[in-house]
Amino acid sequence: MGKVWFVGAGPGDPDLITVRGRDLVARAGAILYAGSLVSAAALRWARPDCVIADSRDMDLDVITTWLIDQASRHECVVRLQTGDPGLYGALTEMVRPLDAAGIGVGVVPGISSALASAATAVESLTLPEVTQTVILTRVAGRTPIPPGESLAELARHRCTLCIFLSITLLREIQAELRAAGWPEESPVLVVHKASWPGEEIILRGTLADIRDRCRAAGIRSQAMVIVSPTLGARHWPELRQSKLYDPGFSHRFRRAALPCSHRGTDRGAEEAEPQER
């Protein structure tokens, strides 16, 4: 039996697939891709003799049966999914039948549409002394939300919210954020098909008008909604800067050059890797 790899194709642009994911696509004897969400351009590295199928009209049983059958014929089988397989990708439901069949499984992470949307809009999801927390969530639709995870409850933290699979539920998003106390002028970012060449749309608005703006732009699918106190920070007149790059702030790669008023307020930073601070 071969091994089935669940590969995150990223948000849309085929160049954003990881090197490992690209190499597995090139090696695979069979690829099952999510054609409704993954650009066919991501298959350009596949072998000429690779068996390729589109899962857009398949249910879970058909998908897992296909993967099991191809794993009996090929050493490497790829399930190519949008974004990251671990986020809203039905990964566990697909893996369980493979486990039962004794088939090896691997996962290659991908760039999430949440990160791609922030990148394409040149926004940071965290800022010093503004918010250090990002919540990835969705609004209840046909899939219910567990107790304690309603958008209103999560929004009370006033941190960054990346809201998946909810562009058709903007009225509910507005109601939940208002219930959590977000003001009408709160900035909202909507990105449709983040990173898709020629198809990406970046839309900015406020809690008060974002639904009307999306309707006017015809955005009804494949969109990320980001609500955050950090949005638009590049245009703020003043900004709290990271202590890591303060000349008076020491860490294990650099000794402070000047007295630092912040010293002692961020204990342990001397031992932190700079990219994590």
Three-class DSSP category at 94: helix
Q: Which of 131-135, 160-164, 243-247 has the lowest mean pLDDT?
A: 243-247
Beta bridge partner(s), residue 251: 254
Q: Which domain holds residue 82?
A: 3-111
Higher pLDDT residue, 162 or 238?
162
Domains identified in the chain, total number: 2
DSSP state of 233: G
Q: 148 and 122 share a domain?
A: yes
Q: 8 and 75 share a domain?
A: yes
- CA–CA dist 190, 105 (Å, integer): 35
Higher pLDDT residue, 137 or 255?
137
**Which of residues 111, 128, 157 is at a domain's end?**
111
Please answer whether residues 162 and 125 qualify as being in contact, where contact means their C-beta atoms are separated by less than 8 angstroms. yes
Please answer whether residues 137 and 169 qualify as being in contact, where contact means their C-beta atoms are separated by less than 8 angstroms. no
CATH number (domain holding residue 84): 3.40.1010.10
Is 242 within a domain?
no
Please answer whether residues 179 and 152 qualify as being in contact, where contact means their C-beta atoms are separated by less than 8 angstroms. yes
Q: Rounded to 5 degrees, what angle do the CA atoms 172, 177, 183 make? A: 130
Please answer whether residues 32 and 90 qualify as being in contact, where contact means their C-beta atoms are separated by less than 8 angstroms. no
Q: How many CA atoms, within 13 angstroms, populate the side-chain half-sphere of residue 11?
A: 23
Q: 124 and 213 share a domain?
A: yes
Q: 56 and 134 share a domain?
A: no
Q: 163 and 146 share a domain?
A: yes
Average pLDDT over residues 59-77: 98
Q: Work out the pLDDT band at 270, boundaries 50, 70, 90.
A: very low
Q: 98 and 132 share a domain?
A: no
- CA–CA dist 190, 218 (Å, integer): 12
Is 248 within a domain?
no
**Which of residues 87, 111, 135 is at a domain's end?**
111
Distance of CA 226 to the CA centre of its chain: 11
Q: 41 and 10 share a domain?
A: yes
Q: Which of 106-110, 193-197, 257-261 has the lowest mean pLDDT?
A: 257-261
Could you give the C-alpha distances from 91 to 78, 88, 183, in angstroms and in order? 13, 8, 37
- CA–CA dist 94, 103 (Å, integer): 12
Is 266 within a domain?
no
Distance of CA 44 to the CA centre of its chain: 23
Angle (deg, nearest 10), helices 210-217 and 170-179: 170
Average pLDDT over all residues of the chain = 90
Q: 54 and 137 share a domain?
A: no
The dihedrals phi and psi of 178, each to the nearest 5 degrees, come to -65, -40
Q: 8 and 73 share a domain?
A: yes
Q: 154 and 225 share a domain?
A: yes
Q: Which two tokens stand for residue 118?
A: 């922030």
Q: Specify the pTM.
A: 0.86
